[in-house]
Amino acid sequence: MGVEYGYKFVDETAEATVKRLITPHQIDKIKLNPSRSNFSIIGKRSEIFSWMGNNGHLEIEYQGFFSSMENHLTIPLLLCELYIEDVHVGPSTRMRLEIRPDNSQLDLQNNQPNFVERKKATNGITLLQLSKAWDCCDRSTSDYE
C-alpha cells in the first residue's frame, strides 16, 4: 500500500468522528501551528523511516508558543510518537508516526493503547536528524518491520 502522509484532519459531528490526512501538493517544510498541529506518516515501520530518509531535507517547524506554569513563553518542543495502526501485529504491521508540539498538560490525558515509542525533538529539526535520532536508540519495535 505504501506510505501515506499529511496533516491530520479531524471532523467531529454529532454522528461520528472522521479522521483523515490532508496531503499537501508540494511540501518544502512541515509547518505546524495551533490549528494544524499534527503531521502523520503511515506505513510499515521500515517504509516510514525510508520516507523520512528520502525527505530528510524537510524541516519541522511549529509556529506558536505554549505558556509554562509561570506564564512565561517557552520555545516549543516537538513530540514524535509511533503507534500501531493495525489490529493484528506481524511483519506487515502498519504504523503511524505522529509529529506534533509537546503540550505536557494534554499529553497526560492522551494515553492511547496502541502507543509504541516516543521521542522529543526541538523546533526546526529535519526529518533526517529525527530519523538518525531514532536509529541510534534501542529499536524495541524492530519486530514490526
pLDDT (tens digit, 9 = 90+) per residue, 10-35? Answer: 766 656 555 788 899 899 999 998 88
pLDDT given for residue 142 in this prediction: 47
Beta bridge partners of 74: 66
Q: Going by C-beta distance under 8 Å and a sequence separation of 6 or more, which residues neighbour residue 73?
A: 65, 67
User: Would you say residue 144 has pLDDT above 50?
Assistant: no
Domain ranges of the chain: 4-137
Question: Cα 86 from chain centroid?
Answer: 17
